Structure 1
Amino acid sequence: MEVDYVVVGGGSAGCVLAARLSEDPAVQVALLEAGPPDASVLIHCPAGLALLAKNGQANWGFETVPQPGLGGRRGYQPRGKVLGGSSSVNAMIYARGHHADYDAWAAEGNAGWSWDEVLPYFRKAEHNERGADAWHGSGGPLNVMDLRSPHRFGPIFVQAGMQAGFRENRDFNGAEQEGVGLFQVTHRNGERCSAAKAYLTPHLARPNLHVVTGAHATRILFDGRRAVGVAYRHERTIQSVKARREVLLSAGALLSPQLLMLSGVGPAAHLQEHGIPVLHDLPGVGRNLHDHIDVVQVVEAPHLTDLFGLSPRGIANALKGIVEWRRHRSGLLTTNFAEAGGFIKSDPAEPLPDLQLHFVIGKLMDHGRQTVWGHGYSCHVCLLRPRSRGSLLLASKDPLAPPRIDPNFLADADDLRRLVRGFRVMRDILAQPVLAAFRGREQAASAAAVSDEQVERFIRGHADTIYHPVGSCRMGSGPLDVVDAQLRVHGMQGLRVVDASIMPSIVGGNTNAPVIMIGEKAADLVKAAREPVHATREAVAA
């Protein structure tokens, strides 16, 4: 097969690229996704994410290398392996980050990435059911709405935050981010609105859009330093697709740098260690990996049987919820579990919110993989702007082997200090009268952490990712940067990276909406470039 553009990865950015580029009927687009189609009801039913977490379906299920900052534990790194990528398995929170995050990108020399310049792409992507205004769009592919059947405990958490001294915020994506409130979610008519549902599904019948699932990219094909195609494994055979114009990597912060290195683009010494011929020594590939570190406090409340949990009453509630969702797409199973939260400061002197809270209407243990009996609620606190930086390296030259993932959590002492403060703030909110009236009991593991040293030990023993790895193909013009402000790989032709890996620094919030924005902006960059068609050599596919 030969097309104009090959998109590697059917996640959030890849779905946007494939849909936007194929709007021109004269352009042929191929999208390669390693996972299956997004057919499972567990994807489309919002509460199905709880079972997806337990059964590992549609998930790469990676692990980190042992993390010294976490007491030698291996962290969990779930990433979507399905059309829609992580937007098909995430908690559906619509959050853009702080305006200052994007201004900082631009201040580092990345022209076109300031807040004022990316806001139009957020608005273009969005159909907000509240209506359009200066901050929000209407008519875009991605449906954003308030929860259809919110649980009673979300507003109670918001009240607790206000009792603790934080202001209510009804729109975290408006003029100001700071405060506590209910999250908007990427739902449509009681179902998950993933990037696949928003961008790809409506256009699968386009004759110029070729979507191949079960296609694991193994190598970028080059003619000199020009990317001219992609080799991929499909149904146990190696196949290839040629790109007349560009190859666009949207495999995510863990797999885009891996594919570059497997193809000979990356740190020369590291590639040579694995016997990979060096096409281009680009030392920044895989550097600058970082992520939101997060820790959870769990509160036991066995008498609150309307909260999610395993008990006779909880099972009866779930069965009732299944019937209501199937008939009306409403009720208990429309939850995203993390219905409320906030963006707050660990210290009033901080210039920006440096913590995010996610309040969960159930007891969350081990990323939801652990079966927990009884009822209760949980709260996450995550550090929004960690200073720690890690790396993504090859573990093997086998393209089917997972990469070596090292976020280097809590390597910088400032990260731990802030997270300790954040844990105390979270605990204070959960102790406010409106929640204390329900007589919940903090689980013993965290309740025993009283002094700063004890809280530090609890954090090192229990903290982990909240699923936002970024930065491993950093955008910029420095010696360790990988792509320029047009997202073109330095030193190469016909090759861009379009996903969370290009973020110079992580945004202060959930990363799905920003990645969709990146895809929208990149589609315009690619269209504007419209590189001439290049003849490809048959030999590159060999």
Structure 2
Amino acid sequence: MGLWSWRVLLAALAGILFFSQHCRASQYVGNYTFMQNASSAANISYYDYIIIGGGTAGCPLAATLSQNYSVLVLERGGSPYGNPNISNLAAFGAALSDTSATSPAQRFISEDGVINSRARVLGGGTCLNAGFYTRASPNYVRDAGWDGKAVNESYEWVEKVVAFEPQMKQWQTAVREGLLEIGVLPNNGFTFDHSYGTKVGGTIFDNDGHRHTAADLLQYANPNGITVLLHSTVYRIMFRIKDGSKPRAHGVIFRDESGHKHKAYLNHGSKNEIIVSAGALGSPQLLMLSGIGPAQHLKDHNISIVFDQPLVGQGMSDNPMNAIFVPSPLPVEVSLIQVVGITTNGTYIEAASGENFAGSSSRDYGMFSPKIGQLSKVPPKQRTPEAMRKAIELMNNLEQVAFRGGFILEKIMGPISTGHLQLQNRDPNENPSVIFNYFKHPRDLERCIEGIGFIEKVIESKAFSPFKYENMPVSLLMNLTASSPVNLLPRHTNSSVSAEQFCRDTVMTIWHYHGGCQVGRVVDRDYKVLGVESLRVVDGSTFNFCPGTNPQATVMMLGRYVGVKILKERLGAAPAETM
């Protein structure tokens, strides 16, 4: 490699490292007659079930319950249909980079300093993510107390609509073969199942590059039994409180896109319920706004206490992600997560790749782009708006060679480290305050270090060698990946950055945060909120640990699973499938 080439490559790598996507695009337009803007709703309405949040869990839950009961879905965002930034793989990251008030992705920054996003669209996080689809492990299912047969049937119900086998090409194949070469065995081939070894997982992108989301599961709904209101923000759950009995949820107050207030009530009947599926941030936030949470915290915000529940908002976790960029001497395909190595030490190894296409809008929207908040070039607390602006400016001025290659990343199981969530104000449109305490537990840091070791071995493997420059050791790649975009030089100039320091300095989110309304703490194993009646929480906020290598399949499954369980309890039989 010549001196000039080295200078170009090093200068490029010292800037912002990200990859882009480019593939065939198609567009699907939803035609749900039951979907409308909230401004068209009556001032007062009545339903058997009111579901707050039409996201990853809310859509399958609503579709299931609508088979036999009247269901209202209140979704604070808009429709994903007709939005190419959601529908097309080639535009991955465009929605995440949109920081406007109408964006389907609402950005938030944890107190740790890591930039993150929460969904604000029908279909939830399935409209924004990198598409990887994989089930939870049998051990996870057992520990959750779920019925294994019903779980499998619920996964299959989801997979008929949204899950596909990805098209494997050279770079992802090299990562897979590298994992097998270094001993991440056995080779499990293509499978949705979670088990030790190396596998090719599913994807919610079809072969035409079209994204299929949880909103597509509304195809199963009974159109005469469901109403979906878009741009409807719930401000409070209403309770009936009688002496000697538990408070009973009986209605909600929500506002439409014009700010007008509406009320929706449960029909009479002791088994009708309000179900909160607003996500790991939204669900604990809404419980607090409705008077269920730590008493003193609620008093500080002048919120009337319905039930003193100090564990609402506790147990917040986000799986830390760390990645190493590997520049390639050969062109590589554009790919999101397809291959995963599931190690026995609780570390997951995954990969994504992309080549810059000059003039393509996808240049700006990689999975590791600062435009979507994924800035690993400075430690979390230094990821200021000014640092982000400089990083984006530098990225836009990089040579094309900087975008040829891919990232190999590690994510730890669990994690063990937890934080908490609190209200900042009483506005449900604004983000609560949340801290995840990345690597607070020493075992999480140990797993990250071990994960970096696995990445190093894959990069140095014979199978991966065609996609690595021979004279670029992993220590150099780590140092460059962690270097500052301000001075274009590595921070750790005297020696290679340690794996421990690398983990702390380059930590990013993989958008798998969970907790806040955990089973056994805030809800029981039927997802009923402890201390009150007629109220459940069904979404990722109930998880104590992240399921599998990616939670979206399990969150969609959970919506279906709980819906079927409710219908069986009320009807004595499972619902019939409709398409």
Query: What TM-score, normalized by structure 1, do the two folds share?
Result: 0.80
Equivalent position of 1:355 in the other structure: 347
Q: Tell me the CA shift for residue 163 of structure 1.
A: 1.7
Equivalent position of 2:86 in the other structure: 43
Does 1:231 find its partner at 2:253?
Answer: yes
Q: Tell me the CA shift for residue 451 of structure 1.
A: 8.4
Do the aligned partners of 1:341 and 1:357 also contact (CA within 8 Å) in 2? yes
Equivalent position of 2:106 in the other structure: 60
Structure 1 segment 397-436 matched on structure 2, within 5 A: 397-436=426-465
Q: Tell me the CA shift for residue 78 of structure 1.
A: 1.3
Note closer, same or farther for the CA distance 1:499–1:381 as it changes in structure 2 (3 Å cut): same
Do the aligned partners of 2:524 and 2:530 also contact (CA within 8 Å) in 1? yes
Structure 1 segment 145-156 matched on structure 2, within 5 A: 145-147=164-166, 149-156=167-174
Equivalent position of 1:221 in the other structure: 238
2:118 is paired with a residue of what secondary structure?
Answer: coil
Q: Tell me the CA shift for residue 222 of structure 1.
A: 1.3
Q: Tell me the CA shift for residue 123 of structure 1.
A: 2.8
- Give the aligned residue type for 1:120: E
Q: Percent identity?
A: 27
Distance 1:504 1:437 in 2: 41
Structure 1 segment 387-406 matched on structure 2, within 5 A: 387-406=416-435
Note closer, same or farther for the CA distance 1:189–1:437 as it changes in structure 2 (3 Å cut): closer
Distance 1:407 1:466 in 2: 13
Q: Tell me the CA shift for residue 473 of structure 1.
A: 0.6
Note closer, same or farther for the CA distance 1:410–1:306 as it changes in structure 2 (3 Å cut): closer
Does 1:123 find its partner at 2:189?
Answer: no
Distance 1:35 1:53 in 2: 14
Equivalent position of 1:375 in the other structure: 404
Distance 1:264 1:445 in 2: 49
Note closer, same or farther for the CA distance 1:156–1:193 as it changes in structure 2 (3 Å cut): same
- Give the aligned residue type for 1:445: L
Q: Tell me the CA shift for residue 358 of structure 1.
A: 1.8
Picking from 502, 510, 521, the partner of 2:550 is 510
2:565 is paired with a residue of what secondary structure?
Answer: helix
Does 1:157 find its partner at 2:175?
Answer: yes
Equivalent position of 2:265 in the other structure: 242
Distance 1:219 1:496 in 2: 15
Equivalent position of 2:283 in the other structure: 256
Picking from 462, 469, 474, the partner of 2:513 is 469
Equivalent position of 1:91 in the other structure: 130
Do the aligned partners of 2:57 and 2:555 also contact (CA within 8 Å) in 1? yes
Equivalent position of 2:331 in the other structure: 305
Q: Tell me the CA shift for residue 468 of structure 1.
A: 1.1
2:63 is paired with a residue of what secondary structure?
Answer: helix
Structure 2: which 5+ residue stretches go unaligned? 1-44, 242-246, 355-365, 373-391, 483-489, 572-579
Note closer, same or farther for the CA distance 1:495–1:173 as it changes in structure 2 (3 Å cut): same
Does 1:525 find its partner at 2:565?
Answer: yes
Structure 1 segment 94-113 matched on structure 2, within 5 A: 94-106=133-145, 113=146
Distance 1:443 1:461 in 2: 11
Q: Tell me the CA shift for residue 415 of structure 1.
A: 0.8
- Once the two structures are superposed, residues 119-140 of structure 1 have per-residue CA deviations (whole angstroms, 9 ceiling, x without a partner) of 332233322xxxxxxxxxxxxx
- Give the length in aligned residue pairs: 459
Structure 1: which 5+ residue stretches go unaligned? 68-73, 107-112, 128-141, 309-334, 347-353, 532-542
Note closer, same or farther for the CA distance 1:260–1:34 as it changes in structure 2 (3 Å cut): same
2:299 is paired with a residue of what secondary structure?
Answer: helix
Do the aligned partners of 1:253 and 1:499 also contact (CA within 8 Å) in 2? yes
Bigger drift between 262-271 and 48-57 goes to 48-57
1:380 is paired with a residue of what secondary structure?
Answer: strand
Q: Tell me the CA shift for residue 443 of structure 1.
A: 5.7
Note closer, same or farther for the CA distance 1:146–1:367 as it changes in structure 2 (3 Å cut): farther
Picking from 226, 234, 244, the partner of 1:209 is 226
Q: Tell me the CA shift for residue 366 of structure 1.
A: 4.5
Do the aligned partners of 1:126 and 1:143 also contact (CA within 8 Å) in 2? yes
Note closer, same or farther for the CA distance 1:299–1:188 as it changes in structure 2 (3 Å cut): closer
Q: Tell me the CA shift for residue 33 of structure 1.
A: 0.6
Q: Tell me the CA shift for residue 207 of structure 1.
A: 3.0
Q: Tell me the CA shift for residue 238 of structure 1.
A: 2.0
- Give the aligned residue type for 1:238: K
- What is the Cα-based RMSD across aligned positions, in Å? 2.4
Distance 1:125 1:438 in 2: 36
Equivalent position of 1:185 in the other structure: 203
Equivalent position of 1:170 in the other structure: 189
Distance 2:506 2:462 in 1: 27
> Which ranges of 4 or more aligned residues in structure 1 deviate by more than 6 Å?
447-453
Picking from 309, 321, 335, the partner of 1:282 is 309
Note closer, same or farther for the CA distance 1:172–1:178 as it changes in structure 2 (3 Å cut): farther
Q: Tell me the CA shift for residue 452 of structure 1.
A: 9.7
1:126 is paired with a residue of what secondary structure?
Answer: helix
Does 1:365 find its partner at 2:368?
Answer: yes
Equivalent position of 1:268 in the other structure: 295
- Give the aligned residue type for 1:361: S
Distance 1:364 1:397 in 2: 33
Distance 1:307 1:119 in 2: 33
Query: What TM-score, normalized by structure 2, do the two folds share?
Result: 0.75
Distance 1:411 1:243 in 2: 43
1:170 is paired with a residue of what secondary structure?
Answer: strand
Distance 1:11 1:221 in 2: 22
Distance 1:151 1:394 in 2: 46
Do the aligned partners of 1:33 and 1:212 also contact (CA within 8 Å) in 2? yes
Do the aligned partners of 2:405 and 2:467 also contact (CA within 8 Å) in 1? no
Equivalent position of 2:338 in the other structure: 339
